[in-house]
Amino acid sequence: MPKTDIYFDHVSSTPVHPDLITMFSQYTSLHYANSDALHDLGTRIDAMQNKSRESLAQLLGVLSEELYFTSGATESNNTLIKGIAFAYQHKSKHIITSKVEHSSVSASFLWLEQFCGFEVSWLEVDQDGRVTLEEVSKVLRPDTSLVSIMYVNNEVGTIMPIDAIADYIHQNSRALFHVDLVQAVAKVPFSLAKIDAASLSAHKIHGFKGSGLIYKRKNIVCESLIHGGQQEHGLRGGTQNAVTNILWAKTLRLALEEYQAHHLDVKNMNDYLRQELSKMDSIIINSPTKDVSAYILNFSCLSISSEVLLNFFNQEHIYVSAQSTCSSKTKTYSKTLSAMGVSQERLNGSIRIGLSSMNTLEECVQFISTLQEGLKKYGNPR
């Protein structure tokens, strides 16, 4: 009898909600016109997109004109970081980010540093992978133009002290504060009240791939990176993916409802996994115990490499990852764990579990049982 798949990689991507699949199929056949067309079919689709934008604004507690549809968080991060940096470079070219950001953020800062003459300060993190206020205070200057720090780390689940950092930035500089919200939305309580700009992704919350969102406070200038069209108030040229834009509001509403209904279930699964993993001599849990997302659990096996463990789990139809998926094919170690100062032994054997409300405690029990089998089969005594 074939084994049932156990999907523990929801940090990388999530299955699309069944309601959205049904609506997508219906809308794609009905709403195929260009939303910029002046005929009735086009204006109808444009109105539906704007209604989605208004609903999103209500859910997020912002103004509808502060939201822009994109192809995903990678585009949102690139647009906001580069666009804001360029817009305010006449005031300052000093910008700040941390050493544990998603590659779309760190690569944007590195490009600005290497090719555009910006001065980048790279924030260190503590042993929990957390950016501290003390570290920010060391590098923030009155003329700093941009700071970008993620809300929840995508490798170990650490929740950053975003509100405290935002207060400090705004009290001690004129810098704008950008936050990558991808792993926070519908997974931890969050607010945009003190944030100047933010990036969101639909496929991390049971929406469609190729569907992202930008939040940008209305008085902030951001240079366009994609020219050639009037779409999204001129910030992002190109024919819009109207159906996924229309479905964005329902995606977020469903995800927030799911969080309210099942967050405790996810926490219980995380607690069970932590409890069982801590009983194993060759396992060290890398995710912190406090101020951490229940949807991410990172651990290291000291007796088996990540590659061997991933292959073993894959053969057993259990799907996990070893680091950020956007960096998984580069053959490099987790930059978050590296920044946390963990040993080479822990870097060699790191595994990331990405939970969701679609998982069950029974799956967690099966995961622990399978891991124990793998340790017996491949593990070397410590």
Percent helix, strand, coil in the chain, to 5, is: 45, 15, 40
CA angle 46, 225, 93 (to 5 degrees): 135
116 catalytic? Reply is: no
Question: Nearest-CA neighbor of 350 among 290, 287, 281, 291?
Answer: 287
Q: What are phi and psi of 58, to 5 degrees?
A: -65, -40
Region of 161 please: left (phi>0), alpha (psi -120 to 50) or beta. beta
Residue 87 in 3-state DSSP? helix
CA–CA dist 144, 299 (Å, integer): 36
Nearest to 146 by CA among 79, 81, 67: 81
Q: Tell me if residue 20 falls in helix, strand or coil.
A: helix
Catalytic position from the list 116, 222, 301, 326: 326
C-alpha distances in Å from residue 335, one per residue of 259, 305, 328, 332: 29, 17, 11, 8
Distance CA 147, CA 145 (A): 7
Q: Which residues belong to the active site? A: 326
